[in-house]
Amino acid sequence: MPELHCYFFAALPCEAKPLISHFKLKKEHSITAFTIYRNADITLTVTGIGKSAMAAGVAYTMALFPAPRLPVMLNIGIAGHSSHQLGAVFALEKITDQETGRSYYPQLVISPPCPTHTLVTVAQAQANYASDSLYEMEASAFYETAIRFSSSELIQCIKFISDNKHNPSTQIKPAQVSQWVSDALPLIEKYSKQLSQLSSLEQPSIAVSYAEIIAQWHFTNSEKIQLNSLLNKRNILTQHKPLDLARMKQTSAKEVLNFLREEVDGQAFGGF
């Protein structure tokens, strides 16, 4: 793998098992909040099922093992669809959260080595498939949390069809899931390397106002990366509208980041 760190996130141990073996990852025994495996280039976190677990796992991992620059972040997991064949592999082009109605659009700057699909993240496993989208329980939380730590073109999801109208989710077998992921390891590794190469070429410019802000508030190294990323996104979305620091009343770096996230989120641009 290229020297840039890559982060994998899987909800289930059976999704993670082939990745652990293939990349020769070692368990971090000192960590108990989540099950985390690492080597010099890769960190893999098994988060557990559901949006809350995924969001917490991503935030915890990035706080514990911050990247020196924008990292590659991949969610590997299973999803259902009304008719697609079991084991079929898709990258996501749109993620919609059923509860909030909010949609996210991973930027596919590099063509994925598999077909793309839309997906709906739901709170409960689906017995019926109301649309032609894939259905699962973590992707929206993964993306919404990951975008705080990286750039949208480096945050991607790979999903395997685990159930359809002829094979309900109650019949999913962990060993079969592991086999699907194992079969797709060449695809996953190829995509990870492509994204890592993209990230290593990407040199984000130091945003306007960055120096002034870090002079006024104390930011950790991880928060500085988030700050520069948010400022660059804001500059793009507002066409470089100046940020009036004199009117900012925030008292901490965390409040500054939250203020900028809210401003970025308020712009009419899906995916940020």
Highest mean pLDDT (candidates 4-8, 45-49, 212-216, 219-223)? 45-49
Report the C-alpha gap between 2 and 153 in whole angstroms: 17
Average pLDDT, stretch 223-250? 80
2 vs 110, higher pLDDT:
110
Q: What percent of the chain clears pLDDT 90, i.e. is strictly above it? A: 63
Least confident of 38-42, 166-170, 200-204: 200-204
DSSP for 51-93, written as a single string: HHHHHHHHHHHHHHS--SSPPEEEEEEEEE-SSSPTT-EEEEE
Least confident of 24-38, 177-191, 240-254: 240-254
Average pLDDT, stretch 151-178? 94
Sorted by where each begins, the domain ranges of the chain are 6-201, 210-265
Predicted confidence (pLDDT) per residue in 32-90, tens digit:
999 999 999 999 999 999 999 999 999 999 999 988 778 999 999 999 999 999 999 99
- Mean pLDDT for all residues in the chain: 89
Q: State the helix-helix crossing angle for 51-64 and 139-146, rounded to 10 degrees.
A: 30
Least confident of 16-30, 186-200, 231-245: 231-245
Query: DSSP alpha helices (H): ranges in the chain?
Result: 13-22, 51-64, 139-146, 174-183, 185-201, 210-216, 221-237, 253-265
206 vs 2, higher pLDDT:
206
Confidence of residue 2 (pLDDT cuts 50, 70, 90): very low
Segment (H or E) for 266: none
Query: Is 107 a residue whose pLDDT tops 60?
Result: yes
Least confident of 147-161, 163-177, 256-270: 256-270
- Under CATH, which architecture does the 6-201 domain have? 3-Layer(aba) Sandwich (3.40)
CB 148 within 8 A of CB 106: no
Query: Is 272 a residue whose pLDDT tops 70?
Result: no
Q: 53 Cβ partners below 8 Å, 6+ apart?
A: 11, 47, 138
Report the C-alpha gap between 205 and 165 in whole angstroms: 49
Report the C-alpha gap between 84 and 135 in whole angstroms: 12
Query: Is 268 a residue whose pLDDT tops 50?
Result: no
Closest by CA position to 79, among listed 70, 68, 88: 88
Confidence of residue 183 (pLDDT cuts 50, 70, 90): very high
202 vs 65, higher pLDDT:
65
